[in-house]
């Protein structure tokens, strides 16, 4: 027995010695991979430090060296992968493949850093010796160079985005149960950060395509700017009380003038031949059969309303005696903003003083409404000129924004991104390609084209002053399977917390709910005059077609009321549920301050998994899902059973 054991040990030892000899080159390659990777890691860390110090030239060198080193390491790993013994061991081969994925990930990241550093160096070359300079302080040729660089950097940015996507794909291939198992938490964080980076880069690319267009590069641009008062809510965000015409050229705001919407409506209204039939609800609840610019944002689909607004502007301008209005150049697009955007911008630039009054982020809306509704009389300002102060405020705000040092641009970008998500700013471009880009950025405010379930509730304040500011609103949406189909219910509760004064009165809103095409109304409750409207709209895009139900609500100060619509969803949605899938898109109306959104979905089968963007999910067990949160942005959920 002892002789047998000695023989076995000698045999194993000989086999191990033979394995080491046969795999000596692979072992040396592995040592070399470790050495190269360690050096590359140091170069990447140095590159990041240099980027943070705005030393883009040296950062590009270090990240480029790291990419070259990692390419060598990857070649060594490929040699190991070709080893006779490695190829015949699934376990060893898996570990080598995982190492390859990790090396490839680091290599692609290094290339991305290098490409980003090169773009940064180009910017530095334009802004040499101008650290922290504001855009308005740049010479015309420097502004042109910056816009040209942004305009021409899109292909490079697309390359970085492709690299990030490739990196994420490689990282997802790593077997977390193998050699890298102990690093699973760190790898999950890395994947999340890469995903966020890829999404940010996608937005940067589209922004780089639109920013030069908005800034008047390579050709000058003219935009119609609308201030939508969300305290007097209308379908696209608020009443169109103030209009502005903005001309940009090579990064400069060449001209920006504002006027009261009534300055266009009034002259046109004096001509009996100018007669455009109002939408039925406007005719009925505003008691006017003529339609004018101030009410032209009636469609909840922003592109549809933007086109209609431009039509009214052009049609009414012909009747105007002001040459600046009558001879307005053709618009390149329409931009709509709500007061919330202005307050957020005031937070960045600080208080501004106009007409002896200080406007800041806390008092802007209330003070401005008081100035244009009441105080102008005491100042001897005519009713015709009472809104001139709005133009003065926006001009001063523009001056302060253009004077921001470059190190505040990230704050500005953050504020703009939040306001875009909350639809406090909407864009429409007459150029088809620019409009496609705006839609991809979710700047377009269009009614969404979806194949599954859908809901959008639209309030339209009709002769209720600024009463939306004192309304507490809560929206709930629920579905359940019954009677061989899917039944949905929308409930909107209104609470009037104001009174009768110069700002507020009884609340009067014409409400529409847009739902999947082919939905059938079962019952509607809470409509003040009992008149329910039903119809279909496709907004010029058949794929976006929706059914809508509507009605008028009137609520006295201090009172509450509830409006509800119950309806059967189309058979296509029931069929999808029976086949194991369900999707829902909840679209927010711009400017509508809905305090809570409660979503309740009840299915016959258990939910296997789902993806969503809800902030707060209450329950997702069995066949039931519920969520509750403030309705500040669009929400969606995709479910499988």
Task: State the distance between the two ends of the chain, measured CA to CA, in whole angstroms.
Answer: 62
Residue 639 in 3-state DSSP? strand
Give the per-residue pLDDT at 332: 96
Under a CB-based contact definition with an 8 Å cutoff, are residues 229 and 340 in contact? no
CATH 2.60.40 fits 453-640, yes or no: yes
- Interval 474-483 mean pLDDT: 95
Among all chains, which residue has been given the structure tokens 């013994």? 85
pLDDT band at 201 (very low <50, low <70, confident <90, very high): low
Point out the least confidently predicted range of 57-66, 226-235, 468-477: 57-66
Q: Does residue 459 carry a pLDDT above 70?
A: yes
Provide the phi-psi class of 473: left if phi over 0, else alpha when psi is between -120 and 50, else beta. beta
Give tens-digit pLDDT for 294-317.
999 999 999 999 999 999 999 999
Q: Does residue 7 carry a pLDDT above 60?
A: no
Read off the pTM.
0.82
Q: What is 151-215 written as a DSSP string?
A: HH-HHHHHHHHHHHHHHHHHHHTS-TTTTTGGGHHHHHHHHHHHHHHHHHHHHHHHHHHHHHHHT
Q: Residue 387, Cα to own-chain centre: how many angstroms?
A: 31
> Domain 221-440, what fold?
Aminopeptidase (3.40.630)
Q: Does residue 477 carry a pLDDT above 90?
A: yes
Q: What is 245-298 written as a DSSP string?
A: EEEEETTEEEEEEEEETHHHHHHHHTSTT---BPPHHHHHHS--SB--GGG---
Is 606 or 41 the better-scoring residue by pLDDT? 606
Q: Does residue 2 carry a pLDDT above 50?
A: no
Is 498 or 128 the better-scoring residue by pLDDT? 498
pLDDT band at 54 (very low <50, low <70, confident <90, very high): confident
Give the per-residue pLDDT at 91: 63
Give the per-residue pLDDT at 99: 67
- Interval 503-513 mean pLDDT: 98
What is the CA angle 490-495-500, rounded to 5?
140
Give the per-residue pLDDT at 72: 82
- Interval 466-478 mean pLDDT: 98
Beta sheet of 453-461, edge-to-edge order: 533-537, 546-555, 507-516, 453-461, 581-587, 635-640, 609-612
Point out the least confidently predicted range of 106-110, 415-419, 481-485: 106-110
Give the residue among 352, 151, 387 at the shortest CA–CA distance from 264. 387
Percentage of the chain lying above the pLDDT 70 cut: 84
Beta sheet of 560-568, edge-to-edge order: 520-525, 560-568, 485-496, 471-482, 594-602, 624-631, 617-621
Say if residue 472 is exposed, middle or buried (CB neighbours under 10 Å; 0-12, 13-18, 19+).
middle
Angle between helices 154-172 and 140-152 (to 10 degrees): 40
Give the per-residue pLDDT at 453: 98
Is 623 or 135 the better-scoring residue by pLDDT? 623
Under a CB-based contact definition with an 8 Å cutoff, are residues 613 and 577 in contact? no
pLDDT band at 464 (very low <50, low <70, confident <90, very high): very high
Q: Where are the alpha helices (DSSP H) in 53-83?
A: 56-81
Q: Does residue 22 carry a pLDDT above 90?
A: no
**What count of Cα atoms within 13 Å lies in the side-chain half-sphere of residue 585?**
14
Give the per-residue pLDDT at 188: 63
Residues 6+ positions from 356 with CB-CB distance below 8 Å: none
- Interval 12-25 mean pLDDT: 45
Point out the least confidently predicted range of 210-214, 343-347, 414-418: 210-214
Under a CB-based contact definition with an 8 Å cutoff, are residues 462 and 585 in contact? no
Give the per-residue pLDDT at 16: 43
The mean of the pLDDT values for the chain is 85
Is 265 or 216 the better-scoring residue by pLDDT? 265
- Which tokens is 357 given? 């009054």
C-alpha distances (whole Å) from 343 to each of 15, 31, 376, 424, 474 are: 77, 59, 22, 11, 24
Is 484 or 293 the better-scoring residue by pLDDT? 293
DSSP state of 444: S
Point out the least confidently predicted range of 9-13, 321-325, 422-426, 594-598: 9-13
Under a CB-based contact definition with an 8 Å cutoff, are residues 261 and 243 in contact? yes
Give tens-digit pLDDT for 568-601.
999 999 999 999 999 999 999 999 999 999 999 9
Is 32 or 336 the better-scoring residue by pLDDT? 336
Domain ranges of the chain: 22-214, 221-440, 453-640
Is 333 or 102 the better-scoring residue by pLDDT? 333
Q: What is 299-345 written as a DSSP string?
A: SSSHHHHHHHHHHHHHHHHTT---HHHHTPPPPSEEEEE-HHHHHHH
Among all chains, which residue has been given the structure tokens 């190492």? 99
Give tens-digit pLDDT for 379-432.
888 888 898 899 899 889 988 888 888 778 778 878 888 898 899 999 999 999
Give the per-residue pLDDT at 180: 47
Neighbours of 380 (CB within 10 A): 6
Percentage of the chain lying above the pLDDT 90 cut: 53
Residues 6+ positions from 225 with CB-CB distance below 8 Å: 243, 244, 245, 246, 256, 258, 334, 335, 336, 337
Give the per-residue pLDDT at 4: 40
pLDDT band at 152 (very low <50, low <70, confident <90, very high): confident
DSSP state of 371: I
Give the per-residue pLDDT at 495: 98
Point out the least confidently predicted range of 79-88, 119-128, 566-575: 79-88
Give tens-digit pLDDT for 346-363.
999 999 999 899 999 999
SS (H, E, C) 450-513: CCCEEEEEEEEECCCECHHHHEEEEEEEEEEEECCEEEEEEEEEEEECCCCCCCECCEEEEEEE
pLDDT band at 635 (very low <50, low <70, confident <90, very high): very high
Give the per-residue pLDDT at 191: 59
Sign of CA dihedral 160, 166, 169, 175: negative
What is the CA angle 404-151-51, rounded to 5?
60
Separation CA 263–CA 275 (nearest Å): 17
């Amino acid at each position: 027995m002892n002789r047998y054991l000695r023989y076995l040990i000698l045999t194993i030892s000989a086999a191990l010695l033979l394995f080491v000899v046969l795999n000596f080159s692979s072992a040396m390659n592995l040592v070399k991979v470790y050495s190269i990777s360690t050096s590359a890691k140091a170069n990447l860390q140095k590159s990041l430090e240099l980027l943070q110090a705005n030393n883009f030239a040296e950062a590009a060198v270090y990240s480029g060296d790291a990419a070259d080193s990692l390419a060598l390491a990857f070649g060594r790993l490929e040699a190991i992968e070709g080893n006779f013994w490695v190829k015949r061991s699934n376990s060893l081969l898996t570990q080598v493949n995982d190492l390859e994925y990790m090396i490839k990930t680091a290599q692609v990241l290094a290339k991305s850093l290098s490409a980003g550093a090169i773009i940064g160096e180009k910017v530095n070359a334009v802004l040499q010796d101008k650290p922290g300079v504001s855009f308005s302080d740049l010479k015309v040729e420097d502004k042109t160079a910056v816009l040209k660089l942004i305009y021409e950097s899109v292909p490079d940015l697309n390359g970085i985005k492709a690299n990030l996507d490739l990196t994420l794909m490689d990282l997802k291939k790593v077997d977390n149960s193998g050699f890298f198992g102990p690093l699973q938490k760190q790898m999950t964080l890395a994947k999340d950060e890469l995903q966020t980076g890829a999404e940010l880069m996608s937005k940067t690319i589209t922004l780089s395509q639109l920013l030069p267009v908005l800034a008047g590069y390579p050709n000058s641009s003219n935009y119609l700017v609308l201030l939508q008062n969300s305290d007097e809510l209308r379908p696209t965000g608020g009443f169109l009380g103030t209009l502005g015409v903005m001309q940009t050229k090579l990064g400069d705001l060449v001209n920006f003038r504002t006027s009261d919407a009534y300055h266009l409506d009034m002259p046109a209204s004096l001509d009996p031949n100018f007669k455009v039939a109002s939408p039925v609800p406007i005719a009925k609840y505003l008691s006017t059969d003529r339609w004018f610019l101030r009410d032209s944002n009636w469609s909840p689909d922003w592109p549809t309303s933007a086109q209609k607004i431009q039509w009214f502007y052009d049609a009414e301008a012909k009747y105007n005696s002001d040459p600046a209005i009558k001879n307005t150049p053709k618009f390149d697009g329409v931009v709509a903003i709500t007061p919330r955007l202005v307050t957020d911008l005031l937070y960045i630039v600080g208080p501004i003083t106009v007409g002896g009054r200080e406007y800041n982020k806390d008092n802007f809306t209330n003070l401005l409404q008081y100035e244009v509704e009441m105080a102008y009389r005491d100042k001897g300002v005519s009713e015709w000129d009472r809104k001139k102060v709005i133009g003065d405020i926006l001009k001063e705000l523009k001056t302060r924004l253009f004077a921001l040092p470059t190190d505040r641009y990230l704050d500005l970008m953050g504020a703009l991104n939040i306001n875009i998500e909350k639809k406090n700013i909407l864009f429409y471009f007459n150029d088809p390609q620019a409009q496609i880009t705006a839609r991809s950025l979710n700047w377009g405010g269009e009614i969404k084209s979806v194949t599954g379930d859908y809901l959008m509730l639209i309030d339209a304040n009709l002769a209720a002053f600024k009463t939306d500011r004192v309304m507490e609103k809560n929206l709930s949406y629920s579905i359940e399977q019954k009677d061989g189909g899917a039944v949905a219910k929308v409930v909107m509760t209104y609470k009037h917390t104001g009174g009768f004064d110069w700002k507020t009165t009884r609340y009067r809103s014409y409400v529409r709910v847009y739902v999947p095409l082919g939905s059938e109304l079962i019952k509607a409750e809470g409509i003040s005059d009992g008149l329910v409207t039903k119809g279909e709209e496709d907004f010029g895009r058949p794929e976006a077609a929706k059914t809508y139900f509507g009605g008028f609500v009137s609520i006295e100060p201090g009172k509450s009321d509830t409006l509800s619509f119950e309806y059967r969803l189309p058979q296509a949605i029931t069929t999808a549920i029976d086949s194991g899938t369900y999707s829902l898109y909840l679209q927010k109306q711009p400017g509508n301050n809905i305090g809570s959104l409660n979503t309740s979905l009840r299915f016959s089968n258990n939910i296997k998994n789902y993806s969503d963007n809800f902030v707060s999910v209450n329950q997702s067990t069995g066949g039931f899902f519920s969520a509750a949160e403030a309705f500040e942005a669009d929400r969606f959920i995709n479910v499988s059973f």
